[in-house]
């Protein structure tokens, strides 16, 4: 592939990402008008993210056959930060704030593509809007698709550019593990 072709591909991906971010902002604005309560919008963003994540899990596994099967939260966090988040959001992520016997951790996104072109009013954040809950919902949906039940929430945005997604491992979903894959 020539360098010109690579540059055009990168430019079109950047334009698509910017279009998605603007569209996402407009969608959240409309949801705020429809639901009126910012907490209800956060719940809807989580549901949307969950549905996206459920579908992205299959796509991720198909494209990343070399990723080993995760058996603990440390491996889950590592795969999310090294593979999944850079692949789907195009940003770097780090794991921090381990607690509760390695059952709870935070993922810090160095930059959040959803908030690059948007400034969320502080009164909406204090009223319960979690603008980045779509990402947390997608993580929750993707992990549930691979048989890990987790609780994920976006920590309310502050003035810094980092976004924190707090994840708490709940259980392995044994009922939905295909026959022959028991551990």
pTM recorded for the entire structure: 0.85
| Domains in the chain: ranges and CATH | 3-176 (3.30.1380.20)
Q: Which of 140, 168, 173 is nearest to 43 (CA)?
A: 140
For 113, residues 6+ apart whose C-beta sits below 8 A from its C-beta are 17, 20, 21, 89, 90, 91
163: alpha, beta or left? (left if phi > 0; alpha if psi -120 to 50): beta
For the stretch 9-26, pLDDT in tens is 445 555 567 788 788 989
CB-CB contact of 17 with 104 (8 Å): no
Q: Is the pLDDT of residue 102 over 90?
A: no
Give tens-digit pLDDT for 135-178: 999 999 999 999 999 999 999 865 556 899 999 998 888 765 55
What is the pLDDT, as a whole number, of residue 9? Answer: 46
pLDDT tens-digit series, residues 76-87 = 999 999 999 998
Task: Report the first-to-last Cα separation within the chain, whole angstroms.
Answer: 43
Q: Are 45 and 130 contacting, i.e. CB atoms less than 8 angstroms apart?
A: yes
């Amino acid at each position: 592939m020539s360098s010109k072709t690579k540059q055009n591909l990168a430019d079109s991906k950047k334009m698509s990402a910017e279009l998605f971010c603007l569209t996402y902002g407009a969608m959240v604005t409309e949801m705020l008008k429809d639901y009126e309560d910012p907490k209800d919008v956060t719940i809807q963003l989580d549901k949307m993210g969950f549905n996206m994540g459920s579908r992205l899990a299959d796509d991720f596994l198909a494209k990343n056959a070399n990723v080993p099967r995760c058996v603990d939260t440390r491996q889950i966090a590592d795969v999310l930060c090294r593979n999944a988040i850079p692949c789907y959001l195009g940003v770097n992520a780090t794991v921090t704030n381990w607690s509760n016997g390695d059952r709870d951790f935070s993922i810090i996104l160095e930059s959040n593509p959803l908030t690059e072109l948007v400034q969320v009013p502080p009164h909406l954040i204090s009223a319960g809007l979690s603008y980045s809950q779509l990402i947390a919902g997608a993580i929750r949906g993707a992990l549930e698709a691979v048989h890990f039940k987790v609780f994920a929430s976006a920590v309310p945005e502050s003035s810094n550019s980092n976004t924190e997604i707090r994840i708490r491992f709940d259980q392995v979903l044994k009922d939905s593990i295909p026959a022959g894959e028991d551990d």
